[in-house]
Amino acid sequence: MKSFSEQCSENQKKNAVEMPSEEARAAPGNGATVNAAPTRESPAQQNGIVSSHDVSSPVSQSQTEHQLPSTAPASPAQPPREQWGGKYEFLLSCIGYCVGLGNVWRFPYLCYRNGGGVFLIPYFIMLFLTGMPLFLMELSLGQYGAAGPITVWKCCPLLKGIGIGMLCVSILVSLYYNVIIAWTFYYLGSSFQSPLPWSCDALHNIAFCGNKTNVTQSPSEVFWNVKVLGVVNSEGLHDPGPVRWPLALCLLAAWVVIFLCMLKGIRSSGKVVYVTATFPYFVLLVLIIRGATLEGSLNGVAFYLTPNWVHLANAQVWNDAASQIFYSLGIGVGGLLSMASYNKFDNNVIRDTLIITIGNCATSFFAGFAIFSILGHMAWKKGVPVGQVADTGPGLAFVAYPEALALLPGSVFWSILFFLMLFMLGVDTLFGNMEGICTAVLDEFPQLRSNQKHKTLFLALLCFAFYLMGLLLITDGGIYWFTLIDSFSTSFGLIIITLFMCIGISFFYGVNQFCQDIVDMICRCPPWCTKLLWYFKACWVVFTPFLLTFILTYIFIEMYRTSLTYGSYVFPTWGKALGVCMGAFCCLQILIWAIVAVSKESGTLKDRFKKSIRPLNSWRVNNINTATQEQHVEPQTVEGPFTVNLTEADFTAMNWEAVSEA
């Protein structure tokens, strides 16, 4: 078998000659004649003449004339697909999509809940054996197919349910993710008060700060549980209570921002990420420097880095590691597929995969120091071990960070900057999720894409529907529903979807063909890119499916042995069953749509299965047309006393003299 680098060099030599013929093979029976521009290898150019699209052989001319009288209705012209303004826009947009709120509030609290530094071991194992390979698979699928998470499965119609499942997961994630943005927006508005309402300088917090020996909750914890959530007014999942209208206004403002961002398109949003993708690192650096000067901060860092090996035997630790990788990288949600579908065909997806995945995980690790240095200081103030300070859950960022900001000089200014950073991170990430939903729908119904008025109406209805459903999560007991959706939307259901995606591409579509598709896209990259494909190929075929299957088995065994909790509240059995149903609903889409695909075919069951895994005729049309357009060079005008019309003989004859005599 030839190496990927040798295949790449051969493709570069044959690309110009094979492109027209391959394009004709890609869509047989469509009733359309595709005229490609002559390339550098064409005989006409070798003879010193640059021909245009109008020059064709007698055979092609006769075929065209024969097709003209056809009364078949012409297919409606599809609107041109947008593309990123540059490769850095896509790269920064993906970084902004991946580096989000989860790096600040989810990763540190998962480390905190799972025994500190021991969580880093399964986390990085999942990164190299599942995160990177699956990330590259999604980027390559979207870029090569130039389609969203549903339409892209024309490469294997049997697996269309994977795209539907991705859409379901994306809906669940978007539903509760914007609630976090609403919390951030509420804190941002509260930061304009001086002193900060969660600081000891506020008069109503004197009782919590005066006597350190009897204080069990910090002012930031009281502000979070009482003022923001109102969870003290709810008895549990069955008692949601009334809607908290200040949060409802914040949630409405958050969805308005998302709606406006979606209307601008990818070209304008790509400019914003130059700020939103770099500003968070500056703020986190300031917090780490400030936290290092606080008393007891080293104890928190030691708790963060010191592994507790007992936790490695707990299935929940591995489940949290896998879900955090998928959650932070956006794997299996459809956002990566959608954003990559707007790439140029020759974009280097391997380079982007390495930069984005390593940068994302480094940011999570970097943010952990800012969190745990503050937790160490909080533990020192309360005189308790680090493991007992603050509550686990998303409230960690809204408890530890506000208290850290209250300790900084000029706390009001830093609080505004910090929560503005969180707000931008959240909007960036949710924009990617919503782009996945919208791209999936617009690809299935292209008439919406061509009509701006209909597209605007669709976005408005979609955002308003999300707002209405999100009202449940901002009631007094909304945090319980938030925890339920958060725990099951990115748990076993997401792993099953990615497992079937990996198996389907590797064994149904063909891992060799998929690697060849990647080589076709990145032929201009250094040789190490193609050599690295051997590692990813081994992961796709062996390591990633095996590891995901092992995790699923372990999760299902331990699922009914552990209880879902928030603080001291234990979720009832019916609540946990509801969460399992949410995850199962996403997975069942794979089976349902596989049955639909098989039933549409004819013949025996074996024949139907074989037909349902074949790529559709239109699978390679988009990328071939894109490549052809990029290689097209405007023909030069040859000044002469007469017009030269080339025939088929000009391309096949051995010499020009023999043709003229004939």
Report how far residue 343's alpha carbon sits from residue 144's, in angstroms, rounded to the nearest whole number.
Answer: 9
Mean pLDDT of 462-484: 94
Stretch among 76-80, 134-138, 387-391 having the lowest mean pLDDT? 76-80
Joined tokens for residue 129: 């054996």
Q: Does residue 406 register a pLDDT over 90?
A: no
Answer yes or no: is 96 a known binding residue. yes
Report residue 582's pLDDT band, with 50, 70 and 90 as the boundaries.
Answer: very high
Residue 585 burial by CB count (10 A; 0-12/13-18/19+): exposed, middle or buried? middle
Determine the Cα–Cα distance for residues 568 and 564; give it in Å rounded to an integer: 10
Q: Which of 23-32, 249-258, 418-427 has the highest mean pLDDT?
A: 249-258
pLDDT given at position 108? 78
For residue 512, give both structure tokens: 């060799």
Is 443 annotated in a binding site? The answer is no
Q: Average pLDDT of the chain?
A: 78
Residue 475: strand pairing partners: 243
Residue 75 has pLDDT above 50, yes or no: no
Question: Sorting pLDDT into bands at 50, 70 and 90, what band is 566?
Answer: confident
Tell me if residue 347 falls in helix, strand or coil: coil
Residue 641, pLDDT > 50, answer: no
**For residues 289 and 307, what is the distance between their CA atoms, to the nearest angstrom?**
24
Q: What is the reported pLDDT for 47? A: 36
Q: Please check if 425 is assigned to a binding site.
A: yes
> Are 342 and 578 a contacting pair, CB within 8 Å?
no
267-276, 418-427, 505-514 — which is least confidently predicted?
A: 267-276
**328 annotated binding-site participant:** yes
- If you write DSSP's letter for every residue of 115-178 in order, what string do you get? TGGGGHHHHHHHIIIIIHHHHHHHHHHHHHHTS-TTGGGGGSGGGHHHHHHHHHHHHHHHHHHH
| Closest by CA position to 415, among listed 205, 193, 108 | 193
Measured distance CA(189)–CA(191) in Å, rounded: 5
- Give 39-50 pLDDT, tens digit per residue: 333 333 333 333
Q: Is the pLDDT of residue 475 over 70?
A: yes
**If pLDDT is split at 50, 70 and 90, which confidence band does 3 have?**
low
Phi, psi of 561 (to 5 degrees): -95, -20
Q: How confident is the model over 412-435, as pLDDT tens digits?
A: 988 898 898 888 888 888 888 888
Percentage, residues of the chain above pLDDT 90? 29
pLDDT at 54: 40
User: What is the reported pLDDT for 647?
Assistant: 56
* Structure tokens that stand for 72 in this block: 């078949």
Rounded Cα gap, residues 123 and 107, in angstroms: 10
The pLDDT assigned to 581 comes to 93
Rounded to the nearest 10 degrees, the angle between the axes of helix 492-503 and helix 132-145 is 60
| Confidence check: pLDDT of 523 > 80 | no
Output the pTM of the full model: 0.79
Q: How many CB atoms lie within 10 A of CB 204?
A: 10
Identify the burial level of 179 via C-beta atoms within 10 angstroms of its C-beta, where 0-12 means exposed, 13-18 middle and 19 or more buried.
Answer: buried
314 vs 493, residue with greater confidence = 493
Q: Confidence band (pLDDT; 50, 70, 90) for 244?
A: very high
* Confidence at 261, pLDDT banded by 50, 70, 90: confident
**pLDDT digits over 79-131, tens only?**
667 777 777 788 888 888 888 877 877 787 788 778 777 888 888 888 999 89
CB 470 within 8 A of CB 193: no
What pLDDT score was predicted for residue 626? 47
Residues 384-410 have a mean pLDDT of: 74
With a cut of 70, say whether residue 281 has pLDDT above it. Answer: yes
State residue 215's pLDDT score: 60
Q: 625: pLDDT confidence band, cut at 50, 70 and 90?
A: very low
pLDDT surpassing 90 at residue 203:
no
* Residue 637 Rama label (left phi>0; alpha psi -120 to 50; beta): beta
| pLDDT recorded at residue 10 | 58
Dig out the tokens for 651 from the structure: 């391309």
